[in-house]
């Protein structure tokens, strides 16, 4: 606890005064000029509130974001907060990711019937030659990943951290991916963390947006991605999950709002992002407003009503 107090003293620029209530401290507020300390912080729960400006939050990460803390200070807090285990440093496990030995890049000449089918599949999904080159998309015509499009993901240093294998002959098993952990940042090499970021389910969704989109490889925000978004103090997130993932979208949105990050939850009534088309996606981005807690409550109530009606019909 003393280390957290020391960090807060440095971040806020004043020394906290211990209050009678357990783990409560009062600081000079950085949000308003007042003749008395008015920023009250509970270092155990993380809740904080300025009694004059009415600025407050539910955890210390929000406070650090609000006062403009450095990346190093965010990392320091991550190591100190015991009640949020997802931010505690874990032992580094080095996983070696390697493309299938049968992998062949689609942009590198050559011709075969399998390659033609692979390209045909991509073109039907509005993947362009520029996309193929940018994302280093390839294919396999033999081996474990035979008849699959291979879409690599690279980290910020250009190292392979994952790959997706998508069957293009409509086989029983659509996806056969890298056997390594999904707890990585998809397409990290292409992400500008100073700009709004789009979170979506799959690689085809991310490529459909064409810029600053991160595939989740599912419907969950994994630890490393969550940590990087918070540490880089991303200001705005667009959440673009498929229409069948409303509950997941609500949970993710609430999680980020609690960390002081603006979330804009996109609504896909008919088609998934990868089927929507780039022009329509830009239109939706422009039309999507900031999601508030009241919006989440409406979505939850609407979902419960729909499920109740479905039960009644049975």
pLDDT recorded at residue 306: 46
Give the percent of the chain with pLDDT over 90.
Answer: 55
Decide which of 56 and 127 is more confident.
Answer: 127
User: pLDDT band for position 84 (50/70/90)?
Assistant: very low
Residue corresponding to tokens 């035979």: 146
Q: Alpha-carbon distance 306 to 313, whole Å?
A: 11
**H-state helical runs in 125-220:** 129-134, 203-209
Residues of the chain with CATH 3.90.580.10: 2-87
pLDDT recorded at residue 313: 41
Q: Domain 2-87: give its CATH architecture.
A: Alpha-Beta Complex (3.90)
Structure tokens at 91: 């032992």
pLDDT recorded at residue 62: 87
Burial status of residue 236 (CB atoms within 10 A of its CB: 0-12, 13-18, 19 or more): middle
Tens-place pLDDT, residues 94-119: 678 999 999 999 988 788 999 999 99
| CATH of the domain spanning 188-309 | 3.40.1360.10
Tens-place pLDDT, residues 273-312: 888 888 999 999 999 999 998 888 887 777 644 443 343 3
pLDDT recorded at residue 294: 87
Residues of the chain with CATH 3.40.1360.10: 188-309
Average of per-residue pLDDT across 27-47: 88
Q: Alpha-carbon distance 27 to 41, whole Å?
A: 8
Tens-place pLDDT, residues 134-143: 999 999 999 9
**H-state helical runs in 150-292:** 203-209, 223-231, 246-258, 273-276, 278-287
Tens-place pLDDT, residues 146-191: 999 999 999 998 999 999 999 999 778 999 999 999 999 999 999 9
CB-based contacts of 144: which residues, under 8 Å, 6+ apart?
Answer: 100, 176
Decide which of 124 and 95 is more confident.
Answer: 124
Residue 2 has pLDDT above 60, yes or no: yes
Q: Alpha-carbon distance 61 to 144, whole Å?
A: 44
Which strand (E) or helix (H) includes residue 78?
helix 71-80
Helix axes 223-231 and 71-80, enclosed angle (nearest 10)? 130
């Amino acid at each position: 606890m003393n280390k957290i107090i020391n960090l807060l003293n440095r971040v806020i620029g004043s020394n906290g005064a211990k209050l009678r209530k357990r783990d409560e401290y009062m600081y000079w507020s950085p949000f308003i000029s007042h003749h008395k300390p008015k920023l009250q912080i509970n270092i155990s729960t993380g809740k904080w509130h300025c009694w004059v400006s009415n600025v407050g939050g539910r955890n210390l990460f929000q406070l650090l974001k609000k006062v403009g803390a450095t990346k190093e200070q965010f990392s320091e807090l991550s190591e100190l907060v015991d009640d949020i285990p997802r931010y505690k440093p874990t032992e580094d496990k080095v996983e070696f990711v390697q493309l299938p030995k049968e992998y062949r890049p689609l942009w590198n000449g050559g011709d075969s019937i399998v390659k033609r089918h692979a390209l045909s599949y991509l073109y039907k999904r509005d993947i362009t030659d520029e996309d193929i080159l940018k994302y280093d998309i390839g294919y396999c015509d033999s081996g474990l990943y035979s008849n699959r499009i291979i879409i690599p993901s690279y980290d910020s240093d250009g190292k392979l951290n994952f790959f997706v294998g998508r069957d293009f002959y409509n086989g029983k098993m659509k996806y056969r991916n890298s056997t390594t952990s999904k707890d990585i940042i998809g397409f990290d090499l292409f992400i500008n963390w100073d700009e709004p970021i789009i979170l979506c389910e799959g690689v085809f969704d991310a490529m459909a947006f064409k810029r600053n989109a991160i595939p989740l490889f599912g419907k969950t925000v994994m630890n490393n991605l969550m940590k990087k978004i918070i540490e880089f103090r991303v200001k705005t997130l667009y959440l673009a999950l498929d229409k069948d993932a409303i509950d997941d979208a609500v949970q993710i949105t609430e999680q980020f709002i609690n960390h002081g990050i603006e979330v804009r939850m996109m609504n896909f009534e008919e088609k998934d992002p990868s089927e929507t088309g780039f022009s329509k996606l830009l239109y939706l981005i422009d039309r999507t407003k900031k999601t508030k807690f009241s919006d989440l409550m409406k979505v939850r109530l609407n979902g419960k009503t729909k499920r109740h009606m479905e039960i009644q019909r049975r």
